[in-house]
Amino acid sequence: MSEEIKNSEAQGAQPERKKRIFSAIQPSGTITLGNYVGALRNWVKLQDDYDCIFAVADLHAITVRQDPKAFRRNILEAYALFLACGIDTEKSIFFLQSHVHTHAELAWLLNCYTQFGELSRMTQFKDKSTKHADNVNAGLFTYPTLMAADILLYQADLVPIGADQKQHLELARNIADRFNGIYGRTFTVPDGYIPKVGARIKSLQDPTKKMSKSDENANAWVAILDKPETIMKKFKRAVTDSEAKVCVGEGKDGINNLIGIMSAVTGKTDEQITAEFEGKGYGDFKVAVAEAVIEEVRPIQERFDKLIADKAYLEEQYRRSAELATKISQRTLDKAMKKIGYVAR
Ligand code: AMP
Ligand code: TRP
């Protein structure tokens, strides 16, 4: 809780404060239908009920080697796409992580309150260091302390994350607890926020796995920016079963997934969808799912095209947000530095 809130509560004013949410996503090029349904779309909804701060985690992204030109393009495209999906800078703060200097600074401090053993236990580090065995850099190892800094700088109450980030959030909580234990209350200890609704979208080629942009088979995922004909083609090729009956069932992972996607984009229940396609074949159903997805992404793509062509507008948005984020996070950084014993600037 911030100092102002505490004071105003003590005076009996404004007992309600919106909880603060922080989240970030890496600018890795392709944003899939899975990312949209599982993360992005939820962020958009959260904006009305929470005090939201979001970032494009471009500092995190260089733990794997990036081509400078493509990297710059991916960062801007991620920013524009999120705005196109409905992140609204009138309601939320939405910035590029590298534009707010406090992140790297607090990350350094927190590195000194994080144990080698703790970081060694991170499963993502173990996975990634096997996968990129030629570049096991120190950043890959300390990545979770940067993520902790992202969250703790804003005194976030809640952090929307996917299951793969739970261990990192747990570490952020431990670091906050440890620091608070040594110096007195400095950081809010954040909770994970797993949205109630949020289907797990599965791969179109192997529906037992989640849809992931890192899948080398491009037919396995649908990108929000895929052209309509590409989306249609990918759905037509989706793996199904031999029963030829549109209904939810065991051993029908492919059809279950398509029904899930249809439900996620149209808001219809599984029962409504099943009733609608009774007696119809998989071919018709696949086309209908593709059309529903195309309709969902069409307005996003139109807004994206306008935004990406308007660099001045984008710049205005990320600059203003970075200024606000710097102000908020500087207070936390100053507080932490004072507690450690640094001389005030
Ligand atoms: P990633 O692309 O794996 O870094 O994930 C970024 C965010 O998107 C996380 O919050 C994930 O939970 C979410 N996400 C990624 N893939 C899917 C999927 N197939 N279904 C639902 N959510 C997903
Ligand atoms: N590490 C997260 C991911 O790869 C992205 C991220 C960076 C993040 N900083 C964060 C998520 C802070 C939540 C809070 O998906």
Percentage, residues of the chain above pLDDT 90: 85
Identify whether the C-beta of residue 288 lies closer than 8 Å to the C-beta of residue 235: no
Which tokens belong to 198? 């949020």
Mean pLDDT of 39-43: 89
In DSSP notation, 47-59 reads: TTTSEEEEEE-TT
What residue type is assigned to position 289 of the chain?
V
Given 128, 202, 234, 252, which residue is catalytic?
A: 128
Residue 279 corresponds to which amino acid? G
Q: In terms of pLDDT, which residue wins out, 29 or 139?
A: 139
Q: Of residues 202, 210, 234, 286, which has the active-site annotation? A: 210
| Residue 269 structure tokens | 């229940």
Ligand 2 mean position, distance from CA 24 (Å)? 5
Render pLDDT for 73-83 as a digit per residue (tens, 0 to 9): 999 999 999 99
Residue nearest to atom 3 of ligand 2 (CA): 25
Tell me how far the alpha carbon of residue 179 lies from the centroid of ligand 1, in angstroms: 30
168 Rama class: left (phi>0) / alpha (psi -120 to 50) / beta: alpha
Residues 6+ apart with CB under 8 A from 290: 231, 232, 234, 235, 236
Residue nearest to atom 11 of ligand 2 (CA): 24
Is 213 part of the annotated catalytic residue set?
yes
* Residue whose structure tokens are 């797990």: 200
Which one is catalytic: 91, 213, 236, 245? 213
- pLDDT exceeds cutoff 60 at 9: no
pLDDT of residue 50: 97
Q: What is the pLDDT of residue 39?
A: 86
Atom 2 in ligand 1: residue holding the nearest Cα: 35
Q: Please state whether beta strands 20-25 and 191-193 pair in parallel, antiparallel, or not at all (unpaired).
A: unpaired
Q: How many CA atoms lie within 13 A of 112 on its CB side?
A: 8
Q: Is 234 a catalytic residue?
A: no
For residue 28, the SS3 value is coil
How many Å lie between the centroid of ligand 1 and the Cα of residue 12?
A: 42
Query: 108: which strand partners?
Result: none
To the query of whether residue 210 is one of the catalytic residues in this protein, the response is yes
Residue 332: the pLDDT is: 98
Q: Which of 161, 187, 212 to mutate to test the pocket of ligand 2 (most atoms within 8 A of CB)?
A: 161
Average pLDDT, rounded, for the chain: 93
Tens-place pLDDT, residues 184-243: 999 999 999 976 555 689 999 999 999 988 888 999 999 999 999 999 999 999 999 999
Contact 294, 262 (CB under 8 A): no
